[in-house]
Amino acid sequence: DDLAVWQRIVVAIKRDPFGRTARQVEEVLETARPYGVSRAMSEVLIRTREHLVANECAEVARHVHLLLERSGLGEHEFASRIGVPAE
């Protein structure tokens, strides 16, 4: 069943948005016309990767905030000590 195959591909992409299956789909999409299944797979890649990046950024922010709290320093001093310009 074709739908079952596409569903397995989507599951693999969601499991690892930059993994082997995702890269293979990306290669195929480079030469495919942007409609139908190609468009749907492209959207899955884009959204899954955006979601992964957003989650990773949020995790880094939580970790930095925890380190800031543990340090007892103010934001500017903490930023200075880790070599990041304070905003």
pTM (two decimals): 0.77
Residue 86 located in a structural domain: no
pLDDT confidence of residue 33: 86
- CA-nearest of 45, 13, 20 to 32 is 45
- CA-nearest of 20, 31, 22, 28 to 49 is 22
Residue 10 located in a structural domain: yes
pLDDT confidence of residue 25: 96
Q: What is the DSSP letter of 34?
A: S
Query: Where in the sequence is the domain holding 23, given as residue range(s)?
Result: 2-81
Query: How many domains does one find in the chain?
Result: 1
CB 10 within 8 A of CB 22: no
Q: Structure tokens of 55? A: 């989650």
pLDDT confidence of residue 2: 87
Residue 87 located in a structural domain: no
Q: What parts of the chain have a pLDDT lower than 50?
A: none
